Amino acid sequence: MNQLEMNQLEMDRLEFARVIIRAAGEITLKYFYAPSEYSVERKSDTSPVTIADRAVERFLRDSIKEQFPDDEILGEEFEIQSGTSGFKWLIDPIDGTKSFIHGVPLYSVLIGIEHETISIGGVIALPALGEMIWAGKGIGAWHETMRFKNPIRAKVSNCKNINDAIFLTSEVLTYDKVQRQDAYKRLEKNVSLTRTWGDAYGYFLVATGRADIMIDPILSDWDAAPVMIILEEAGGKFTDWNGKQTIYGKEGIGTNGIIHENVLQILCNKNIK
């Protein structure tokens, strides 16, 4: 397989991801606007799950398996499906289930794609808001909305001073679970504004220049999978709390890139040069 063929194979999967994530979004909306039609269960870690989560993941898995039967699939709700092609799909059928079950339209559907352990594509769809962002290795990040006829290039902000930054996170109490509440308080004191417009929506806002920092002290692989490549292709940066660029750190820091080192220094309580 030469490089040109591999790139085409990657592009085929990214294009397919954009198609099936739209369809998956439509499935979520059927449940989102009819909350009385489903019940909420609790998983072993007490996080909520619904029939909508499972229905969307089944749809995505079945679609991928039919089109690319040799690809590996890792999702939140079901067992991993092994593969032999070197391609791996990471999917979260509903990221932000707590928002979803309470009628808050900030939930999303996530798809990340790897080839030989390298992130090559990612898509985040916000069905209730009618927005989507996607990126591919070397081709940029692209923002789609119901308002724009064609995708527009997604770019992070040019915020250079952390004191002017907007800091987002998913849930403040999560920092307590990993004994990082002091880190949260230090960063909050150094920024202009803090809000819990979190989950993948927070990273979406950073990638489109509407926020500057998004942090999760606890993060699953399938949540991080599309985020890193989207932020990088939008001009930003995504790392774990040690500064390593990975989707497997079980935590995440996403920024516009310019202030990333400052964020790390404050979180780790190091002197800022």
pLDDT digits (tens, 9 = 90+) for 136-172: 999 999 999 977 779 999 999 999 999 999 999 999 9
- CATH code of the domain covering residue 243: 3.40.190.80
Same domain, 10 and 142: yes
- Label residue 52 exposed, middle or buried (CB < 10 Å: 0-12, 13-18, 19+): buried
| Same domain, residue pair 192 and 251 | yes
Least confident of 30-34, 89-93, 261-265: 30-34
Average pLDDT of the segment spanning 228-251? 97
Specify burial of residue 165 (Cβ count, 10 A radius: 0-12, 13-18, 19+). Answer: buried
Number of domains in the chain: 2
Residues 24 and 146 in one domain: yes
My answer on whether 11 and 146 are in the same domain is yes
What CATH number has the domain bearing residue 103? 3.30.540.10
Spatial separation of the C-alpha atoms in residues 196 and 201, rounded to whole Å:
10
Q: Which two tokens stand for residue 18?
A: 């954009």
- Euclidean distance between CA atoms 234 and 141, whole angstroms: 5
Sheet holding 213-216, edge to edge: 193-195, 166-169, 213-216, 252-255, 237-239
Q: How sure is the predictor about 42, in pLDDT bands with cuts at 50, 70 and 90?
A: confident
Measured CA to CA, the distance from residue 29 to residue 237 in angstroms comes to 31
> How far separated are the first and last CA of the chain, in Å rounded?
47
Domain boundary among 126, 153, 180: 153
- Where in the sequence is the domain holding 112, given as residue range(s)? 3-153
Q: How many CA atoms lie within 13 A of 146 on its CB side?
A: 6
95 located within any domain:
yes
- Does residue 272 lie in a domain region? no
**For 222-234, what is each residue's pLDDT tens digit?**
999 999 999 999 9
